[in-house]
């Protein structure tokens, strides 16, 4: 990927990205702890839902044409996961879609863990507080605008009339 394409892919998020470039697989492998690596392949047998995502997880995908090399699947079967697919309907997803699904699931789960941790901290603080120190402010807010009127049935907007 060229510099221009890489910059465009990151858009306005570069301040939040911790980008590491490795000259090849061996350099990457030497730099990363194996415990951080999670491998994703259509050929894996364990479902994505079992992946033990951590904040420092490294998500590794095979290439678009050949997928994950068999040597990885054989060497790390307990760290290989697949996106469950409706059997017989779809063979596999393209790489960008698969990466997006896995990343979303990782962020969703890590976000849920962070939220649960914050909720537990809040609950502990409540237990330690005197009853008059804890207050709840729940207000019923009015709707910001009235409900929209139902649309007319008939020809969808934006399409030309037949014969026009």
The tokens for 87 are: 């059997």
Sign of CA dihedral 6, 7, 12, 14: positive
Q: Residues 37-79: pLDDT tens digits?
A: 999 998 999 999 999 999 889 999 988 888 899 999 999 999 9
To the nearest 10°, report the CA torsion of 149, 155, 158, 160. -160
Domain spans of the chain, in order of start = 34-119
Single pTM value for the model: 0.63
- Given a cut of 70, the residues of the chain with pLDDT beneath it are 1-2, 6, 9-12, 88-89, 91, 115-116, 118-164
Topology classification of domain 34-119:
Alpha/beta knot (3.40.1280)
């Amino acid at each position: 990927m060229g510099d221009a394409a890489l910059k465009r892919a990151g858009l306005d998020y570069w301040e939040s990205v911790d980008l590491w470039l490795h000259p090849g697989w061996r350099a990457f492998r030497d730099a990363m702890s194996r415990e951080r690596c999670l491998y994703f392949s259509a050929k894996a047998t364990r479902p994505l839902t079992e992946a033990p995502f951590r904040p420092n997880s490294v998500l590794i995908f095979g290439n678009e044409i050949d997928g994950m090399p068999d040597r990885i699947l054989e060497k790390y079967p307990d760290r290989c996961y697949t996106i469950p697919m409706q059997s017989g309907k779809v063979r596999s997803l393209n790489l960008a879609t698969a990466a997006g699904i896995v990343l979303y699931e990782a962020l969703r789960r890590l976000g849920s863990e962070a939220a649960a941790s914050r909720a537990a901290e809040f609950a502990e603080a409540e237990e330690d507080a005197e009853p008059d120190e804890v207050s709840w402010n729940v207000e019923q807010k009015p709707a910001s605008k009235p409900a929209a009127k139902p649309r007319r049935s008939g020809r969808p907007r934006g399409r030309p009339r037949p014969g026009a």
